[in-house]
Amino acid sequence: MMVTFAGMIGVLSGMNTEGLTVTVNAAKSEIPLAAATPVSLVAREILQYASTIEEAYAILEKRELFVAESFLIGSARDGKAAIIEKSNESIGLYDPDNGYIICTNHFQSPELSGTSVNQQHIAESASGYRYRRVEELLDRNFPNNVPKTISILRDQRGINDEDIGYGNEKLINQLIAHHAIVFQPERKLVWVSTAPWQLGKFVCYDLEKVFNLETAPDVEIYEKELEIPADTFLTTSDFRSFLKMSKYRFPFATENPLNPDSIVHWNPNSYYSYLLAGDYYYESGNMAAAEKAYSAALEREIATGAEREHILRNLKNCIARQE
């Protein structure tokens, strides 16, 4: 069983008949200079041929990947989960063996955690912040279960429940994910989110039943009684406002003219709203308004070091051009 993009033969998340699960989580890597095996095809190979963490490791060890990746592997046979980390040049296993495991987008194994690329990524990206937020929520929700796990995957608050704006890369739910998924490998149960993002209902499948089907049924095969309802955030005015702003998250992808006042109104606690507004004013030559917007962005939780540098550089130019 796999979840992937439409038309794609590789795996993003999945489980096989042995109760082995895999999800892929991007990590920072050097720019690849030659072709190698796509990560999603290696994930598919693991589901096809591995039944334990050791067997998954052996498959990854012999493959040269195109980019760096963390493979979160759950195993019914092993009775635990572990992360196999693979860069362009090295491989490592992270198994804290403490009852839980957290994976965001940086390496944690002894082999790869200390590399300069990984340490720079932790310092400049949102991965470390998300890791600490997951830790915080796990401590608060112990002991964990499926509904609690789904509530963590849907979480839109920063550390200490701070409101850092919708869509912030430092949030667990950035309102951008293709899907979210929860596995119970020993029971062969899987919950898959429905649109939008991980806010829709989580549909449960009993893979023990599905894998034993002899023919394709003409009825739904999900377990209706195990379904997790949609997030109530979908019914709020904040969600409707975010939908208006979301088309501008990637300005190159929309031809709609940007109204800076509207952007800020729709997502007022987001640094990115003020960054977009600042860029609009900056490119329009309104340095006073750009300075005000960039200053407001700096008062909020900024997701990455690169964005902070962009804001500071433009702010400096705004001030210089007004003198």
Q: What is the pLDDT of residues 256-270, one digit of tens each?
A: 788 999 999 999 999
Report the CATH number that the domain containing residue 181 is assigned in CATH. 3.60.60.10
Q: Which residues span the domain enclosing 56?
A: 2-231
260-272 per-residue burial string, b: 16 or more CB within 10 A, e: under 16:
beebbebbebbbb
Q: What is the pLDDT of residue 106?
A: 96
Are 95 and 171 part of one and the same domain? yes
Terminal Cα-to-Cα distance of the chain (whole angstroms): 63
Domain boundary among 202, 231, 260: 231
Domain-terminating residue out of 180, 206, 231: 231
CA angle 212/217/206 to nearest 5° reads: 45
Confirm if 226 and 189 have CB atoms less than 8 A apart: yes
Q: Which ranges in the chain belong to alpha helices (H)?
A: 39-49, 53-61, 116-124, 127-141, 146-153, 207-211, 237-246, 260-266, 271-284, 287-298, 305-322
Cα separation, 153 vs 174, in Å, equals: 10
Question: For the residues 97-123, what does the mean pLDDT come to?
Answer: 93
Dihedral sign of CA atoms 204, 171, 137, 128 in order: positive
Give the pLDDT mean for 186-194.
Answer: 97
Would you place residue 255 in the very low, low, confident or very high pLDDT band (cuts 50, 70, 90)?
confident
Average model confidence (pLDDT) across the chain: 94
How far are the Cα atoms of 81, 144, 149, 152 from residue 140, in angstroms, in the given order? Answer: 21, 9, 12, 11
Query: Does one domain contain both 115 and 10?
Result: yes
* CATH classification at residue 279: 1.25.40.10
Task: Report yes or no on whether pTM surpasses 0.95.
Answer: no
Q: Which amino acid is at 212?
A: N
**Count of domains for the chain:** 2
262-319 pLDDT, tens digit each: 999 999 999 999 999 999 999 999 999 999 999 999 999 999 999 999 999 999 999 9
In this structure, are 291 and 227 located in the same domain?
no
Q: Which residue has the higher pLDDT, 218 or 73?
A: 73
pLDDT at 80 (0 to 100): 95
What's the pLDDT score for residue 253?
A: 63
In the predicted model, is pLDDT for residue 3 greater than 70?
Answer: yes
Structure tokens at 158: 């920063």
For residue 252, pLDDT beyond 90: no
Give the pLDDT score at 66: 81
